[in-house]
């Protein structure tokens, strides 16, 4: 994740035609670059595509994939697909919300975690599934999720200078 850089955003924009059909792929690539959609980058996108800032904002808020604030150092995703839900995923989500003090889409005040829900990730045999960054954990419980988060926090603290 990097901070907003107009030159970098301009390089991304240069790869797209200045047509409104480019809006979604541009938003996706800009978010991939920064980890979220910085307000300045959204203005730059609007100017490039000859759209109003409010149009870019309205389209991007329509899709849950876009974020408007930087995410945490780690992302916790709780699968809310049917198999995971039936196997206790909803309970894990409730408990994790309480533990982190945030709702899905939120980031903890210390910037450590962003919490998200996801639809089925294709690992139903392992339900309920929790994903921390790129690591998939199956047959989870709230206690086990707590343990993984505590361990993850400790590991991050160790690697920080
Ligand atoms: S429902 Fe969670 S992995 Fe399929």
* CATH assignment at residue 22: 1.10.10
Instruction: Give the pLDDT score at 140.
Output: 98
Asked whether residue 99 falls in the same domain as residue 133, the answer is yes
* CATH assignment at residue 99: 3.40.30.10
Number of folded domains that form the chain: 2
Asked whether residue 78 falls in the same domain as residue 155, the answer is yes
Q: Is 127 in the pocket of ligand 1 (CB under 6 A)?
A: yes
Beta-strand relationship, 113-118 and 135-137: unpaired
Q: Is 77 in the pocket of ligand 1 (CB under 6 A)?
A: no
Asked whether residue 147 falls in the same domain as residue 78, the answer is yes
Asked whether residue 93 falls in the same domain as residue 28, the answer is no
Whether the CB-CB separation of 130 and 143 falls below 8 Å is answered with: no
Q: Which pTM was predicted?
A: 0.71
Give strand pairing partners of 76.
115, 132
Range of the domain at 26: 6-62
Q: What pLDDT tens digit does each residue of the chain (161 aa) get?
A: 568 899 999 999 999 999 999 999 999 999 989 989 999 999 999 999 999 999 999 999 988 788 888 888 899 999 999 999 999 999 999 999 999 999 998 889 998 999 999 999 999 999 999 999 989 999 999 999 999 999 988 776 665 55
Tokens of 15: 């790869």
Nearest CA-CA partner of 79 in 138, 149, 146: 138
Asked whether residue 90 falls in the same domain as residue 153, the answer is yes
Q: Is 121 in the pocket of ligand 1 (CB under 6 A)?
A: yes
User: Which residue has its alpha carbon closest to ligand 1 atom 1?
Assistant: 81
Instruction: Give the pLDDT score at 53.
Output: 96
């Amino acid at each position: 994740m990097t901070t907003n850089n107009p030159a970098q955003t301009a390089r991304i924009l240069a790869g797209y035609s200045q047509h409104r059909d480019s809006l979604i792929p541009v938003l996706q690539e800009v978010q991939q670059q920064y980890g979220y959609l910085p307000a300045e980058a959204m203005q730059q996108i609007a100017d490039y595509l000859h759209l109003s800032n409010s149009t870019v904002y309205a389209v991007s808020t329509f899709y849950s994939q876009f974020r408007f604030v930087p995410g945490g150092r780690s992302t916790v995703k709780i699968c809310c697909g049917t198999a995971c839900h039936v196997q206790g995923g909803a309970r894990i989500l409730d408990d994790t919300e309480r533990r982190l003090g945030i709702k899905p889409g939120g980031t903890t005040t210390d910037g450590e975690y962003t919490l998200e829900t996801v639809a089925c990730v294709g690992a139903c045999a392992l339900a309920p599934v929790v994903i921390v960054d790129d690591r998939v954990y199956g047959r989870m419980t709230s206690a086990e999720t707590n343990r993984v988060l505590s361990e993850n926090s400790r590991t991050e603290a160790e690697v920080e200078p």
